[in-house]
Amino acid sequence: MSGVVCAWLRNDLRLYDSPVLHRAVQLSKERGLPTLPVYVLDPRHFQRTKHGSLKTGAVRALFLLQSVRCLKRQLRKLGSDLLIAVGRPEEVLPPLLGNGSVLLTQEEVTFEELRVDGELQQALVNQSVQWQYCWGSTLYHKEDLPFRADLKDAPDVFTLFKNKVEPELAASANEVPATFQGEKKLQSDMNVRPCLPEPEAGSLPLPPLLGKELFEFEPSWQDLPFQEEVAAPTEHQGAAMRFEGGEEAGLARLQHYLFDTDLIRGYFEVRNGMLGPDYSTKLAPWLALGCVSPRKVYEQVREYEKARVANKSTYWVLFELMWRDFYKFFAAKHGNAIFKLHGLTGKERAWRPDSGEFFRLWTDGLTGYPLIDANMRELKATGFMSNRGRQNVASFLALDMKLDWRRGADWFESLLVDHDVASNWGNWVHAAGLTTGRINHFNVIKQSKSYDKEGMYLKHWLPELQNVPSSLIHEPWTMSDEERERFGAGEYPAPCVDPTTFREDANKGQGKGPPKVKGPPWTKGEKASTG
């Protein structure tokens, strides 16, 4: 086997603004080596986790499959191809890399990814293969951050992080910079590096001696290395939207949200919605798998601002991308702490012991709290949930049900079509109040009334509450027996956590610890555990 420039693609399944492919083109020219783009379907990603979930659930698996197939099609159009293999990278890749090869891959920061890198490096130890990382998953390049290389001085609070990385736009906490007030044109920039061009046709030549049959494999659902029978997901009629994997569909959504519909113009006002495709960008799944880069989103938002309008909403989409960066760098800084029961604090807290029944109320949307149940049923049926929903269900699980928050994060990891390790586990450890930041303990009844006043979202997902008037739908336990019968709500469950803990005065403001919780009958007599 002769030397190649191997582009081992992982969460960067795109052509445009791809540091790995860009570098592959450069190195191929410089060293006169052919290129070998590869994607590896690792069976470990399709196993059950220690909490019992499929690590990659069906919805995300399908999105991944579509994304990989799309990239293969795109590379073929450039006269190249994508070698898709099933197996462990540390077993699949070494035989493909002759002496003098270079292995390029996007740098990841979390435990499992780093462990695989370590194992692959170990497997390559007797081969003369050069390993090069490319940074490519964030809006800001790691090297451009105003922090030490090990990020030890990066703030753990988002606003402080944002104000440091975005100094020229920094206004006071969570406010929109003056340049964006009103409908003014943009006046400032954010030090984001420009996007890299798409590789040109012919710039990623394949190794001439590598058997053509290696490239014939185009996986279908049956080829995904699940260790059990898993049915391909079917489309749900009530889903917020249909997510199709791949760069083409991701760029189409971006175009739709910006230039085709001007939806971005009103993002700020509707971003806390929960129903339908339009209240937010819905770009997260493509960002998570790197089908679209955050810099591409930034580039297009800037184009939109120049052509149409720069306002609070256009700024706020970029602001959200900074949240995404924040969690990536937070994960890089804190390593395994984001996966630990006690999080960053290391402090013990009483977690409710549970053999599974109480947790199932949450996963199945049977807690008796309509806001929680509607969101959890949406997640289970479609693989998506709004940010408002995620904040509430996470707070409810960790601070009201007092269940080990990692089971919630694990459930999200399995089901979310947009699962991203840093964003998911980072948001969860924050929601559980286990970082140095303040605790956002949500009053889920108040949230339900504020963000779904008429109960439209609740009715969309909870057939039992279809006919309940909006004055009662947020607190169905307040209905009399006669009302429950009249409105056909008899099947809706009783609340699993005492509703009096959500009295307005019991839970005012943020930053308070979790309220006392009355357990359901089956937890009586069990002692709280501190994990």
Residues near ligand FAD (CB under 6 A) are 271, 280-284, 287-288, 317, 320-321, 323-324, 327, 386-387, 390-391, 394, 412, 416, 418-420, 423-424, 427-428, 431
Q: Give every CB contact of residue 337 below 8 A, 6+ residues apart in sequence.
A: 343, 344, 429
C-beta of 330: minimal distance to ligand FAD in Å? 10
DSSP characters over 395-408: HIIIIIS---HHHH
Q: Please state, in angstroms and rounded to a whole number, the distance separating the CA atoms of residues 322 and 227.
A: 37
Q: Please state, in angstroms and rounded to a whole number, the distance separating the CA atoms of residues 92 and 495.
A: 51
Q: By C-beta, is 102 or 431 nearer to ligand FAD?
A: 431
Known binding residue 376? Answer is: no
Q: Please state, in angstroms and rounded to a whole number, the distance separating the CA atoms of residues 347 and 429.
A: 13
Q: By C-beta, is 1 or 157 nearer to ligand FAD?
A: 157
Known binding residue 321? Answer is: yes
Known binding residue 88? Answer is: no
Known binding residue 1? Answer is: no
C-beta of 386: minimal distance to ligand FAD in Å? 6
Q: By C-beta, is 179 or 440 nearer to ligand FAD?
A: 440
C-beta of 521: minimal distance to ligand FAD in Å? 29
Tokens representing 23 are: 């570098």
Known binding residue 267? Answer is: yes
Q: By C-beta, is 34 or 514 nearer to ligand FAD?
A: 514
C-beta of 390: minimal distance to ligand FAD in Å? 4
Q: Please state, in angstroms and rounded to a whole number, the distance separating the CA atoms of residues 121 and 423.
A: 27
Q: By C-beta, is 133 or 323 nearer to ligand FAD?
A: 323
C-beta of 419: minimal distance to ligand FAD in Å? 4
Q: By C-beta, is 80 or 382 nearer to ligand FAD?
A: 382
Q: Please state, in angstroms and rounded to a whole number, the distance separating the CA atoms of residues 369 and 397.
A: 12
C-beta of 80: minimal distance to ligand FAD in Å? 29
Q: CB-based burial of residue 372 (10 Å sphere; 0-12 exposed, 13-18 middle, 19+ buried)?
A: buried
Q: Which helix (H) or strand (E) holds 29?
A: helix 19-31
Tokens representing 376 are: 């959890």
C-beta of 294: minimal distance to ligand FAD in Å? 7
Q: By C-beta, is 136 or 207 nearer to ligand FAD?
A: 136
Known binding residue 320? Answer is: yes
Q: Please state, in angstroms and rounded to a whole number, the distance separating the CA atoms of residues 151 and 146.
A: 9
SS3 for 111-126, per residue? HHHHHHHHHHHHHCCC
Q: By C-beta, is 273 or 499 nearer to ligand FAD?
A: 273
Q: Please state, in angstroms and rounded to a whole number, the distance separating the CA atoms of residues 323 and 158.
A: 7
Q: Which residues of 464-502 are buried (b: 16+ CB within 10 A; e: fewer)?
A: bbeebeeebbbbbeebeeeebeebebeebbebbbebebb
C-beta of 317: minimal distance to ligand FAD in Å? 6
Q: By C-beta, is 358 or 405 nearer to ligand FAD?
A: 405
Q: Give every CB contact of residue 329 below 8 A, 6+ residues apart in sequence.
A: 138, 142, 145, 147, 151, 154, 161
Q: Which residues of 47-71 are buried (b: 16+ CB within 10 A; e: fewer)?
A: eeeebebbbbbbbbbbbbbbbbbbb
Q: Give every CB contact of residue 433 below 8 A, 6+ residues apart in sequence.
A: 398, 399, 439, 440, 441, 513, 514
Q: By C-beta, is 406 or 484 nearer to ligand FAD?
A: 406
CA dihedral 12, 16, 19, 23 (to 10 degrees): 120
C-beta of 451: minimal distance to ligand FAD in Å? 13
Q: Please state, in angstroms and rounded to a whole number, the distance separating the CA atoms of residues 375 and 461.
A: 8
**364 with 376: CB under 8 angstroms?**
yes
C-beta of 72: minimal distance to ligand FAD in Å? 24
Q: By C-beta, is 330 or 487 nearer to ligand FAD?
A: 330
**405 with 260: CB under 8 angstroms?**
no
C-beta of 339: minimal distance to ligand FAD in Å? 14
Reference 318, options 99, 140, 129, 510; nearest CA is 140
The tokens 């289970």 sit on which residue?
A: 380
Phi, psi angles (nearest 5°) of residue 331: -65, -40
Task: List residues forming the annotated binding site.
Answer: 267, 320-327, 418-420
Task: List residues forming the annotated binding site for FAD.
Answer: 267, 320-327, 418-420
